[in-house]
Structure 1
Amino acid sequence: MDTTSHILMGLGLGALAQIDPVIANNAALAQAVVLGTVIGSNAPDFDFMYLLKGKGSYYRNHRAWSHSLLALPLWSAGVSGIIFSLFNVPSFSHLFFWTFLSVILHVLFDLFNVHGTQVLLPFSKKWIAFDSLPLFDPTISFVHILGFCLLPFNEPGKTFLIIYLFIFLYVVVRTIYAFLIKRKLEHHFIRSLRIKLIPRTFLFQWDVLIETNTDFLFGVYSEGSLHIEHTFSKEIDFPELVSDSQNHPTVSDFLSSTQYAFPSVRSWKNGYLIYWKDLRFRTKKFFPTLAILFISSDFKMKNCFIGTLHSLKQYKQVIRKLKI
């Protein structure tokens, strides 16, 4: 989920906490719990601090240890401990419980979008993603805002209990539907190596990535059918350069963040451009999230870009800088 959605969910959990009479009858504790749920709902994303060491470090570490099972109680204890020391509240256990719940839901909802998390660290480095929710889900945001509008007229706890029951059913339905779509596609594309669903903001629409031994197929699944929009071959020019590029620190950081990167090479008068594109994210035939490595013809100069390009103009600016 995006930051705005995590904030809305933190506020929603703070309202839901009012269902507990101990919290509802103590204004200071209620305020502390809301602060705890809002901060806790965003705490795992405090790994943005890795940006201080560069984009590569952020790509390698985002949604990794900070979103692992071992980190959940640590985030909760840290956030609730600081708040408890600042507020004169009668119960640390109530504050910790709701903060802990907000941290858990942050990681849980991140598991349902296309990015996923390395939640099983240190036991497994595998990225886990259920591919059922978009990064920003307008339905989940809308029902939160609706709930906030109803607060002056209804009890906060009961209002958000109904809202979260609805969200639970909504996520279950989307997850089951995604599972059935993937199963249907696997039965049809029996020679596929893997199939990735990328949820759209529109309800029950997915972008689809299908990998075979020879190529990648990209399409959109909607209204019970798949429309293939384009394909490209897995043949790679200059395979030695591609293999060598994986040893570049920035490219290595990028590759650690995705299981769906694929390379391509373009030769220039003064060198080569090696692209590692994250195939999960595309706009028509353009893949905006990527690493680009420029290698000079004499192999002495290597410059690298990592990030997301939002326009053709931005892309051209990056290429010019790489070749300086």
Structure 2
Amino acid sequence: MDTTSHIIIGLGLGALSHIDPMVAESATLSYAVLIGTVFGSNAPDFDYVYKLKGNSSYYRHHRGWSHSLLALPLWGLIVSGSIYFFFSEVPFLHLFLWTFLSVILHVFLDLFNVYGTQAIRPFSTKWISFDSIPLVDPYILSLHIIGFFLLPFYEAGRVFIIIYMLIFLYLLLRTSYASFTKRYLQGHFQNAIRIKLMPRAGILYWDLLIETEDDFLFGEYSRKSLVIDHTLPKKQDDSDLILESMNDSLVSDFLSSTNFAYPFVQKKKNGTFVCWKDLRFRNNKFFPYLAVVFISTELKSKASYTGWVYSLKKYKKVLRKLEHTSPSCSGKKQSYLEG
């Protein structure tokens, strides 16, 4: 989920904490717990610090160790311990438990969107994604907003225990429907290697990606109605250049963040662009999350880019900059990054 969603959920957990009699009876503990749930609800995303080393480093590590089983109690201790330094009079156990719950809920909810997490590290580096809800889910946010409006009239803990029961019921229904949809599609595409659902805000609507041995199929699905609107062949002629592009550090970081990368090759007079795009993120046949390498004709120089590009105009600007940069490298590699 996005940062705004996690902040709102942290506020909701702060209200829910009033089901704890110790929190409800102490204004100081209530305030400390609220700070703990808000920061705890965002703590796993503190891996944003990797951006200090560049965006590609962030893409490689985001939702990795910071969202792992080992990290959960550590985040809880770090956040609650920092708050306890300023609120030493409050019972630490209650502060820690509510903060720890907010950390757990952060990682739990991240499992339900298309990006997923490496939550079972160190036992496996597998990405886990239930493909159930969009990154910004309007229903979860709306339920929290309704709860906030009810707080002046009803007891906070009781309001939000109902809110969270409804949210968990909603997650169960969407996840069950996603599982049913995948099984239904697998029955019609028995040669499919993988089927990836990209949830929309509408509960019954999905964008989808179907991988076969020969190609990738893109389409839309709703109520047992499927429309395939785009395909990409797996077989490509420029395998040597594609392999060469994978040696670039920015591309390597990008590829570590997704199992759905696809290389597009575009040749120019003075070199070749190899553009790796994440097929999970698609907007009108445009893939905004990408890594691009420009390789000169003599294979003497490279220039690369990784980031999110949301328009064709910006994409062309990136290509022009790479093409202009590479020949002046004199055999060296240059990289630049944007968010």
Instruction: Indicate the TM-score class for this superposition, using the shorter chain for normalisation.
Output: over 0.9
Amino acid at match of 1:131: D
1:233-248 matches, within 5 Å, as 233-248=233-248
Rounded to whole Å, the distance in 2 between the matches of 1:45 and 1:237 is 40
User: Which residue of structure 2 aligns with residue 7 of structure 1?
Assistant: 7
Deviating more after overlay: 25-34 vs 292-301: 292-301
Asked whether the equivalents of residues 36 and 98 of structure 1 are also in contact (C-alpha less than 8 Å), the reply is yes
- Give the secondary structure class of the aligned counterpart of 2:85: helix
Residue matched to 1:322: 322
Q: Distance in 1 between matches of 2:144 and 2:13?
A: 10
**Which amino acid in 2 is paired with 1:287?**
F
| Residue type at the aligned position of 2:102 | S
Task: Supply the distance in 1 between the matched residues of 2:180 and 2:201 (Cα, whole angstroms).
Answer: 19
* Counterpart position of 2:56: 56
| Residue equivalent to 2:292 | 292
Q: Deviations over 1:94-126 (max 9, x none)?
A: 000000000000000000100000111121111
After TM superposition, list the pairs within 5 Å mapping 1:272-311 onto structure 2: 272-311=272-311
Separation in 1 of the partners of 2:88 and 2:247? 53
SS of aligned partner of 2:292: strand
Q: Please say if 1:228 is aligned against 2:228.
A: yes
RMSD value, Cα: 0.8
% same residue: 60
Q: How many equivalent pairs are there?
A: 324
Greater Cα offset, 298-307 or 25-34:
298-307
Which residue identity does 2:220 align to in structure 1? V
CA distance in 1, matches of 2:237, 2:268: 13
**Matched residues in 1 for 2:94 and 2:278: separation?**
42
Instruction: State TM-score, norm by structure 2.
Output: 0.94
Cα deviations by residue, 1:14-66 (Å, 9 ceiling, x for unpaired): 00001111111100000000000000000000101101100110010000000
1:171 lines up with 2:198 in the alignment? no
Q: Which letter maps to 1:158?
A: R
CA contact (8 A) 1:236 1:264 kept: no
Query: Shift of the alpha carbon at 1:218?
Result: 0.3
- Deviation of residue 4 (structure 1)? 0.8
Correspondences of 1:171-190 after superposition (within 5 Å):
171-190=171-190
- In the TM superposition, residue 88 of structure 1 has moved relative to its aligned partner by 4.0
Structure 1 gap segments, 5+ residues each: none
Q: Who is 1:161 aligned against?
A: 161
Moved over 3 A (4+): none
SS of the residue 1:197 aligns to = strand
Report the TM-score, using the length of structure 1 for normalisation.
0.99
**Equivalent residues of 1:117, 1:127 under 8 A apart:** yes
Matched, 1:16 2:16: yes
Q: Which residue of 1 aligns with 2:26?
A: 26
Aligned to 2:142: 142
Amino acid at match of 1:28: T
Secondary structure of residue in 2 paired with 1:36: helix
Q: Distance in 2 between matches of 1:21 and 1:106?
A: 24
